[in-house]
Chains A and B, each alone.
Chain A
């Protein structure tokens, strides 16, 4: 007999070594997330996937599933907090969806819609952040970085390159690249790297591909993020 946990009362099987997120995804249960990707080592930093495990808050993407866990996911307290955490991500950076190429394909925006976020709620930080357009095929718009480290992990774990890292402390956290000049053009980054395609927001963009898919025909223009996420991650997660 396989081991099980319950999520919002629904019994869900899991295998030893699986996280709550992995078990949930396999069982068609969506837990909102931004820094998690099934191909990479879980990071546990965005905290959108916070669930209650036997009454205690845990990150579903890093917390191991264990026999008999009673997990709460889709409850008002948690979804309210997720909405606020998403608002935090919006106000600490400079996210202007209408003028962003990623709009409609952006996971941050899609999660915000999913969580019914209607305003920023918190005061905006308006940080001064740069754009690095030095690379012939890629650009980094630091204004949109949410420090999920997916590019860091993809470069390290898949591309075998170590192009990116996070640096700094606290609210001064920022993305840096591995080159003497500190510019992307002087790294060994290539537009075909996984790291170039994994950014959940519009912080890393491929040049000369902008608006090839018109607004209105983009991923989240037709589907909510829960359905898209489950469909794509179930393929990856096996």
Chain B
């Protein structure tokens, strides 16, 4: 192992910023990070061992104790639950003869849940040693369990098990006609760099991750620098190191558009990054790819190589004397890293904890240097705008939301997949197109977004009405809203980074309080207490995760207060836990289960 670690660290030039990639390699080989490896790495990378342990314990895909040689993870996404995930999980657990969360005694296999894997259009889905398993059903699970029990290497497994389809169903101005390789850069150099930035501004393009910051303005700020830098001379400004980062940490449950863009439009995304780089004067770029998309990694590396060979990356791009290259970094299972400053921390080899702002990444980002962080779809659009011009884009959409939005549609509909719509399209139009009927409601923008009921389908997808990063989950009338809310609320508690008190403790309290109500232990004041807690977490949390973690409760409580009230017991005060359940251990010890060994807890039971 010592030689392996030494060579591994050497291959990453002993750079602490590469810690996640190094740990991924160790986890893949040993199925945990052994303690001697931590100590050795601390020495080789010249960082405290506590930083390494912190990182291991922060990211879901790293472990301090051994996992199975086959690490099987099944997605916890609500859409997978709707497709029967829970029963399948029980089935697999029985088939493999191990409990969920555990490693089998022989060390061959471990089984656990994982947050949404970005395969909601072809679930139930999972991962085995980081690679996606799609369309799981009993026969596939039989097959998988046999392969594991025979200890067949993954590359001998049937490819069909790993097949990931694009499911591109409706394309628009961007997906209809990808640009030719190099066309956007050609146009940029012909038109001029500042002139191209003007076109990006003219297009009205706003960030596609959901927050909707104006892209051209972000690029402008990054180039111009902070107020202090603005006064320094032009030469110093030109020498400033800047970075371009593509946020491909698509973790919002129900979103998978970036998976498709990177599978089929990666060239254009890289081109968008390169256009940004030449405009702002960056020489280094990164794509932060979520760990769940490991299956795209080699393909993306190959495309980067092709672009280098074509003179579109590397030194002297298209002979214009500008240099820029892109490195791909993989995440390791942490939703919070989709937040741009947490993503930057992660890229630096640290826990993904959102930074205090100001300063913003445009002035102090990666390694403290000015950095543009944009979504995959934003770079895709930017490349098209660089080629076609700003007006082409601005002619589509609404007043404040120009162009189109690429949606990931899943849940209760006939045709889940990728759809591209002009901004301003109504929810009803989308539902008609994807074959959804008898709809109860739609979760727009994922758990951190908004739940809308079937009274609101005339609302529009746009920053001025329903903003979305692309997640669009449909629920039909057979679904229970509280199950959905419960899934989302548990998700946020699991993904909170734990930095600030209101989110660290608050998301767990939200989970407890909601569980209490759903399990029928709530009494009169409990919905009010839940509302109060929502407000507290929303208003006081450090970053977007905490500020939106209560949205599933807030948006459904607004629309379906009677659902929550119906869960409450009639008596005025109810203990916050299951009184009778708490006696279970005592009953077991006493070998009793007669009626007298049970406590009544409701008025009805008393009577």
B-binding residues in A (CB < 8 A): 42, 44-48, 50, 57, 59, 62-64, 81, 84-85, 88-89, 91-92, 122-123, 125, 146-147, 162, 164-173, 176-180
Contacts and interface: CB of A to CB of B under 8 A. Distances in A.
Contacts of A169: 57-58, 334, 351, 495-498
Nearest to B502: A47
Given A47-B542, A81-B539, A170 B501 contact: no
Interface string B528-548: 000000001001111000000
Given A47-B502, A166-B54, A178-B49, A64 B358 contact: yes
B53 interface: yes
A6 B50 CA distance: 42
A165 B48 contact: yes
Given A89-B501, A171-B504, A57 B540 contact: yes
Q: Which 4 A-B pairs rank lowest in CB-CB distance, beginning with the nearest?
A: A165-B50, A173-B498, A88-B505, A170-B496
Contacts of B58: 167-169
Contact of B498 (A47, A164, A171, A178): A171
16 contacts: A45-B501, A46-B501, A47-B540, A81-B536, A84-B536, A88-B506, A91-B505, A123-B509, A123-B512, A125-B508, A147-B504, A170-B493, A171-B493, A171-B508, A173-B498, A178-B49
A169 B509 CA distance: 16
Nearest to A148: B501
A164 to B, nearest CB: 7
A122 B51 CA distance: 33
A170 B54 contact: no
Nearest to B56: A167
Interface in B3-62: 35, 39, 48-51, 53-54, 57-58
Contacts of B498: 147, 168-173
B516 to A, nearest CB: 8
B338 to A, nearest CB: 15
A64 B360 CA distance: 13
B561 interface: no
B53 A176 contact: yes
Contacts, number: 112
Contacts of B541: 47
A141 to B, nearest CB: 19
Which of A45, A50, A64, A147: most chain B Cβ within 10 A? A45
B96 to A, nearest CB: 26
B507 interface: yes
A59 B356 contact: yes
Interface in B101-124: none
A167 B35 contact: no
B501 A88 contact: yes
A166 B504 CA distance: 13
Contact of B500 (A47, A172, A178): A47
B495 to A, nearest CB: 7
Interface of B: 35, 39, 48-51, 53-54, 57-58, 334, 351, 356, 358, 493-502, 504-509, 512, 536, 539-542, 576-577
Contacts of B496: 169-171
Contact of A47 (B48, B51, B54, B501): B501
Contacts of A164: 50
Contacts of B499: 45
Which of B39, B504, B512: most chain A Cβ within 10 A? B504
B539 A170 contact: no
A64 B576 CA distance: 42
A81 B505 CA distance: 14
A84 B529 CA distance: 12
A38 B50 CA distance: 25
Given A122-B509, A123-B512, A171-B493, A162 B501 contact: no
A146 B498 CA distance: 11
Nearest to B36: A180
A179 B507 CA distance: 32
A81 B509 CA distance: 15
Given A62-B356, A169-B495, 6 more contacts: A42-B356, A59-B356, A123-B509, A166-B54, A168-B498, A170-B498
A170 B508 contact: yes
Contacts of A62: 356
A165 B51 CA distance: 7
A46 B541 CA distance: 10
Nearest to A93: B505
Contacts of A166: 54
A42 B58 CA distance: 22
Contacts of A123: 509, 512, 576-577
Contacts of B497: 169-170
Nearest to B509: A122
A108 to B, nearest CB: 11
A129 to B, nearest CB: 15
Nearest to B505: A88
Contacts of A173: 498, 504
Nearest to B336: A169
Contacts of A42: 356
B502 A85 contact: yes
B505 A162 contact: no
Contact of B495 (A46, A47, A162, A170): A170
Contact of A45 (B39, B500, B512, B536): B500
Contacts of B539: 57, 81
Contact of B542 (A44, A84, A172): A44
A85 B53 contact: no
A167 B508 contact: no
A194 B512 CA distance: 38
Which of A50, A91, A169: most chain B Cβ within 10 A? A169
A162 B493 contact: no
Which of B501, B508, B540, B577: most chain A Cβ within 10 A? B501
A117 to B, nearest CB: 14
A89 B505 contact: yes
A178 B502 CA distance: 28
A173 B495 CA distance: 12
A59 B536 CA distance: 15
B187 to A, nearest CB: 40
A176 B504 CA distance: 18
Contacts of B495: 169-170
Contacts of B512: 123
A66 to B, nearest CB: 10
Contact of A167 (B54, B494, B502): B54
A177 B51 CA distance: 10
A146 to B, nearest CB: 8
A62 B493 CA distance: 25
A48 B542 CA distance: 12
A138 B534 CA distance: 40
A47 B542 CA distance: 8
A138 B7 CA distance: 39
A172 to B, nearest CB: 7
Contacts of A46: 500-501
Contacts of A170: 493-498, 504, 507-508
Nearest to B538: A57
Contacts of A64: 358
A162 B48 contact: yes
Contact of B540 (A50, A172, A176): A50
A89 B504 CA distance: 10
A77 to B, nearest CB: 9
A169 B342 CA distance: 13
